[in-house]
Amino acid sequence: MSATKGLEGIVAAESKISSIIDDTLTYVGYNIDDLADNASFEEVIYLLWHTRLPKADELAELKQQLADNMSIPQAIVDQFKAYPLSTVHPMAALRTAVSLLGVFDEEADVMDPEANYRKAIRLQAKIATVVTAFARVRKGLEPVAPKPELGYAANFLYMLKGEEPAAIEVEAFDKALVLHADHELNASTFTARVCVATLSDVYSGVTAAIGALKGPLHGGANEQVMKMLSEIGSLDNVESYIQTKLDNKEKIMGFGHRVYRKGDPRAPHLRVMSQKLTELTGKPELYEMSVKIHDMIVEQKKLPANVDFFSASVYDSLGIDHDLFTPIFAVSRTSGWVAHILEQYANNRLIRPRAEYVGPGMQKYVPISER
Ligand SMILES: CC(=O)SCCNC(=O)CCNC(=O)[C@H](O)C(C)(C)COP(=O)(O)OP(=O)(O)OC[C@H]1O[C@@H](n2cnc3c(N)ncnc32)[C@H](O)[C@@H]1OP(=O)(O)O
Ligand SMILES: O=C([O-])CC(=O)C(=O)O
């Protein structure tokens, strides 16, 4: 037995949900470019959960179900108020709150497919409220109740800021949600599947996935990209900052990918949005800096940008706090996690690989007094 470091190239599950073949990403066979340009996030949720696009009445029903389930237990808001708010990261708050949602869901451990689907809707609906409520509570503000007549993306921005977003903001945010919704067997989705393959519950699977997404090698990279852009500060500083990092053999966040070689097909969509939004908000330098970084990394490291690189300047342009970028990724990816969890339950087998033992050979126990 010999180990493959990082399970690179190992096919660990069959899935009908999304595929990456020759650098092309599809959700259920629909090209991500097509979906990014045409589908709403709610349509994508339906697609991932039912492996087909919804008809008009089915989409209306899902939107209604999401709107009806957005409120969260007051106990979660009260918990937030008790946190050390100046230091707690929103991803830690989210991880804990999703676990708490499970505590308050009477059906949490009911394992039939209908109950699991109802939980999927509740979780997808409430996770937007959880993230926005935490974002407000830590600023000493009260959470804003969702408006049932708004779509998912608009409601998120409304609950975050307390005012209805402009159409262009909704369009950009909705597209970002579509682009982040699913991605084959990425680290957090794999984590979710491993968790529920023990027949643990949906909330445990998503809580585990949030923990995996939090790391800077995965979803946490978008916040780190913004940190880097803020540190660089101006177009003039890009070259020396990036060159120093490269000379020191440091990783540049938002670049590289385990699966894509030619490039992440989501990045060009985010790049276009970044250009448009930074111009609109009067911060075109942020986009120009991003492009300069991009060109240096592509030229010197031959590494293309991944989904996290241009999303940073997109979310910044939408006036979103930088440490909320990864929680927003989680809000979108919940749709994919849940799709994979339901798929895992439908054809389950415990996921239990082996480890190649590389420690010492057989040893004889030595009493503590003789060590
Ligand atoms: C949503 C997402 O999760 S997308 C990914 C988000 N993560 C990031 O943007 C973090 C930065 N990128 C990375 O760390 C990596 O590219 C990963 C984690 C995404 C993929 O990692 P892996 O497939 O394991 O590649 P690995 O980390 O082994 O890198 C291979 C080589 O490329 C280099 N490399 C990879 N990414 C980068 C980068 N962003 N900057 C500089 N060098 C890099 C590594 O240093 C390594 O070089 P070496 O062979 O000389 O040691
Ligand atoms: O697939 C991966 O390894 C990471 C990624 O891009 C994602 O989860 O969107």
Is 257 one of the catalytic residues? yes
Residue range 139-167: average pLDDT?
A: 97
Structure letter (DSSP) for residue 322: G
Alpha-carbon Rg of the chain, whole angstroms?
A: 21
Span 187-241, pLDDT tens digits: 999 999 999 999 999 999 999 999 999 999 999 999 999 999 999 999 999 999 9
Q: Which ligand is nearest to the CA of 218?
A: 1
Catalytic residue among 105, 264, 308, 316: 308
pTM > 0.90: yes or no? yes
113-128 residue pLDDT tens: 999 999 999 999 999 9
Nearest atom, ligand 1, residue 225 CA: 9
d(CA 253, CA 266): 16
Known catalytic residue at 236: no
Q: Is 257 in the pocket of ligand 1 (CB under 6 A)?
A: yes
Tens of pLDDT, residue by residue over 261-305, are 999 999 999 999 999 999 999 999 999 999 999 999 999 999 999
Please tell me the predicted confidence (pLDDT) of residue 363: 98
User: How many C-beta neighbours within 10 Å does residue 236 have?
Assistant: 12
Instruction: Using the predicted structure, report yes or no on whether residue 1 has a pLDDT greater than 80.
Output: no
What are the structure tokens assigned to 10, written together?
């190992």
Q: What domains lie within the chain, and their CATH numbers?
A: 31-214+323-346 (1.10.580.10), 221-317 (1.10.230.10)
Cα–Cα dist 216/222, whole Å: 8
Look at residue 2 in the predicted model and tell me its pLDDT.
86
**At a CB cut-off of 8 Å and minimum separation 6, what does 134 contact?**
80, 90, 93, 94, 97, 327
Q: Is 5 exposed, middle or buried (0-12, 13-18, 19+ CB in 10 A)?
A: exposed
The pLDDT-based confidence of 96 (bands split at 50, 70, 90) is very high
For ligand 2, mutation pick of 23, 48, 180, 186 (most atoms within 8 Å of CB):
186
Which DSSP string do the residues of 147-191 spell out, in sequence order? -TTS-HHHHHHHHHHSSPPPHHHHHHHHHHHHHHS--TT-HHHHH
Q: Are the CB atoms for 182 and 89 separated by under 8 Å?
A: no
Name the 3-class secondary structure at 24. strand
